[in-house]
Structure 1
Amino acid sequence: MKPHNPSIREEALALLRRGVPNRVVAERLNVPRGTVGWWRHEDRRKRVEPVAPRRSLLCPICDDRPLDKAAYAYLLGLYLGDGHISHYVKHRVPSLLVTMDDAWPGLQDMAAP
């Protein structure tokens, strides 16, 4: 793979520091989006710029909302019965996978919400 011209990288960093999104920078400079993301990451690391924490809209603990205990208990039961936690490198977050058999009519429909 051919390295990018340092002037392209500097131009990208200047745009990123002004708040231009990675996608726009990548399109404008004809550079892969992943490369722009890596440049941003490295720039922040070198400048010790704090990265804003990501909050989940789905996590009541992260969003300081009350926990639906009945729904949590049901989900825990599904996990203990037919589930497991997978760590997909691509997504960088653990995922709950629950496998259900069609032999139990209605179970999948009840579990989805």
Structure 2
Amino acid sequence: MYDISTRKRALALVGQGRSLNSVSRETGISRAAIRSWQDRLEPLPRLAPPDPGPPADHCVYAYLLGLYLGDGCISGHPRGVGYYLRIACANSWPGLIDACESAMRAINPTGRANRVQAQGYVSVVSYSKHWPYLFPQHGPGKKHERRIALEPWQQAIVDAHPWEFIRGLIHSDGCRVTNWTTRLVGGERKRYEYPRYFFTNRSADIIRLFTTTLDQVGVLWKQANACNVSIARKASIALMDAHVGPKY
């Protein structure tokens, strides 16, 4: 794309009686482009791609939505109308990297995704014109500095597939750990271990989406502080283990 000043300069040279060949050699601009500017100086407006509508695979989308809200971002291609969806996955969890790439391929209308190795993590990347439609939470700035809310069609998908959404959020910004404490048993202090799930995110809106979905599936939780949610009740851990499990 050439800016208006470049176009005007080329046309001014032509207006001096120069041939298209000589102006093209001097400016590096093709004769066809210069000739077209003689009919229309302003560039044609870019047409936005059509809205593809909600994704066909709602179950996979719910999982990918959780990953995106946790560790994902969307950025525009500098020379086109397309966008890159990137989700960062730690090297420690190869199974998560595979699941993320598979979900991206299933949701991207082009069916494409690839991996870019970085220091300590893999960035799973997929290019499409439709990512802002599929993830309307995309916007300028960091997620925790702007409002994050689901569109009605997204909320309907999460309501239908709550565990996949929770799984995506845990796989991005959560973990399953083993805590321990000591207690007196028969006068002797013994070590006691118990599992716990944590979810950490700086966005109050994303925390709210997570806890509201936990309420929907009957998981009891406690907010340790503004950024951390803890799940430690035995029955709730059993539910999380059955539907989410540790990263792998």
TM-score normalized by structure 2? 0.25
Greater helix content: 1
TM-score normalized by structure 1? 0.45
Greater strand content: 2
